């Protein structure tokens, strides 16, 4: 009987010692407490803890991400917004995280919420929408100054979404449309100015060169003649009053006067006869234009 009792006692002691063998993972740090007093760290691997007398508290050293529930915040210009954010943090000092604060995870989230409300409340809506990263960096810096005392490090705080009331969304949409219309009007007016400058420059070149003007008119007539369903009646007489213009008109008249008798003597084909007739018509039109210009000058001088 004594041997049996001794065996039972030894078995119980063995089970107690076996239950005191703990495994610490690589991403964890374990803190030992002996009779409630901190007695050191336990490195990753197997460690022995005296049952009843010692306890272990595991601290996860990996980076954690926690969502901050949607916060209703009033901006500096009195616009109510709903802000969603996320915080990334990790433990850098397990002793402080375990001894300085009761629940460091809840403490980080609560502190981030408070700072988020304060920072957004000091920021106008336009700046909040256009510079989210700057606002988030400001929140992270203020949170870091407090949680650093708890052995924690905030790596990042990001603003996931900023929701506005429907009325404010409609106002912003109208403002964006008005801004696009303003840019369109400015661009179009600039294009009109450039086009007007180009037209003015082209007009100056054509007016200074009668031959270029004549070629331009013939090109226009050729483009009109490409459509068979279009009939155009035009006058070949040129309404220009200048020495170069009169010289060109006289040359055309002399050329037409020489071509017509030659065509009659040699018996040209129908196409050639049409060309000769066209030349005669042009010469006559030039002569009529010259007569009209001479009469106009006479009236002015008289």
Q: What is the mean pLDDT of residues 96-102?
A: 89
Torsion from C-alpha of 87, 92, 97, 99, nearest 10 degrees: -170
Q: What is the mean pLDDT of residues 151-156?
A: 92
CB atoms within 10 A of CB 97: 25
Which residues lie closer than 8 Å to 105 by C-beta, 6 or more apart? 64, 66
Q: What is the mean pLDDT of residues 165-176?
A: 80
Predicted local confidence at residue 234, as pLDDT: 57
3-class SS of residue 298: helix
Give 28's strand partners: 60
Predicted local confidence at residue 245, as pLDDT: 47
270 pLDDT more than 80: no
State CA 209 to chain mean position distance: 49
Only one residue has tokens 């040209």, namely 268
Q: How far apart are CA 40 and CA 24, in angstroms?
A: 14
Burial of 246 (0-12, 13-18, 19+ CB in 10 A): middle
Predicted local confidence at residue 221, as pLDDT: 67
Q: How far apart are CA 31 and CA 59, in angstroms?
A: 8
153 pLDDT more than 80: yes
Q: How far apart are CA 42 and CA 95, in angstroms?
A: 12
3-class SS of residue 232: coil
Do 126 and 101 touch, CB atoms closer than 8 A? no
**pLDDT tens, residue by residue, 188-245:** 889 888 888 887 887 777 677 666 666 776 677 666 666 655 565 555 555 444 444 4
- With CA atoms as reference, report the closest residue to 60 among 104, 123, 15: 104
User: For 65-131, where are the alpha helices, taking DSSP H only?
Assistant: 94-99, 104-121, 125-130
State the pTM of this model.
0.54
250 pLDDT more than 70: no
Predicted local confidence at residue 144, as pLDDT: 92
Phi (first) and psi of residue 77, to 5 degrees: -95, 25
102 pLDDT more than 70: yes
pLDDT confidence of 72, banded at 50, 70, 90? confident
Predicted local confidence at residue 140, as pLDDT: 93
State CA 76 to chain mean position distance: 26
**pLDDT tens, residue by residue, 10-36:** 777 667 766 778 888 888 888 989 888
Strands of the sheet with 80-91, listed across from one edge: 64-74, 80-91, 152-163
Predicted local confidence at residue 112, as pLDDT: 92
CB atoms within 10 A of CB 19: 10
Q: What is the DSSP letter of 267?
A: T
3-class SS of residue 42: strand
pLDDT confidence of 252, banded at 50, 70, 90? very low
Q: How far apart are CA 117 and CA 72, in angstroms?
A: 8
3-state helix, strand, coil in the chain (%, to 5): 60, 20, 20
**pLDDT tens, residue by residue, 29-45:** 889 898 888 888 888 88
**pLDDT tens, residue by residue, 103-149:** 899 999 999 999 999 999 899 988 888 888 899 999 999 999 999 99
Q: Give me the percent of the chain exceeding a pLDDT of 70.
A: 66
- Is the four-CA dihedral 59, 65, 71, 76 of positive or negative sign? positive
């Amino acid at each position: 009987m004594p041997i049996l009792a001794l065996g039972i006692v030894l078995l119980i002691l063995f089970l107690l010692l076996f239950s005191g063998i703990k495994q610490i993972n690589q991403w964890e740090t374990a803190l030992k407490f002996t009779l409630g007093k901190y007695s050191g760290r336990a490195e990753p691997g197997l460690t022995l803890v005296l049952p009843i007398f010692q306890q272990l508290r595991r601290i996860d050293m990996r980076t954690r991400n926690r969502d901050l529930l949607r916060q209703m915040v009033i901006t500096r210009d009195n616009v109510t917004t709903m802000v969603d954010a996320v915080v990334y943090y990790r433990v850098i000092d397990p002793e402080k995280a375990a001894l300085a604060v009761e629940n460091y995870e809840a403490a980080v989230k609560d502190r981030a919420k408070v700072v988020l409300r304060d920072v957004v409340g000091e920021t106008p809506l336009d700046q909040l929408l256009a510079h989210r990263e700057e606002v988030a960096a400001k929140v992270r810096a203020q949170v870091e100054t407090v949680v650093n005392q708890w052995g924690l490090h905030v790596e990042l705080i990001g603003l996931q979404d900023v929701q506005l009331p429907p009325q404010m969304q409609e106002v912003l949409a109208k403002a964006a449309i008005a801004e696009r219309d303003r840019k369109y009007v400015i661009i179009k007016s600039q294009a009109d100015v450039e086009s007007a400058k180009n037209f003015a420059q082209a007009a100056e070149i054509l007016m200074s060169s009668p031959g270029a003007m004549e070629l331009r008119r013939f090109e226009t007539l050729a483009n009109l003649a490409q459509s068979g369903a279009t009939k155009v009646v035009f006058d070949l007489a040129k309404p220009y009053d200048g020495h170069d213009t009169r010289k060109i008109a006289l040359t055309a008249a002399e050329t037409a006067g020489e071509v017509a008798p030659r065509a009659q003597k040699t018996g040209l084909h129908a196409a050639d006869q049409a060309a000769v007739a066209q030349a005669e018509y042009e010469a006559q039109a030039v002569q009529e234009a010259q007569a009209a210009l001479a009469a106009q000058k006479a009236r002015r001088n008289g």
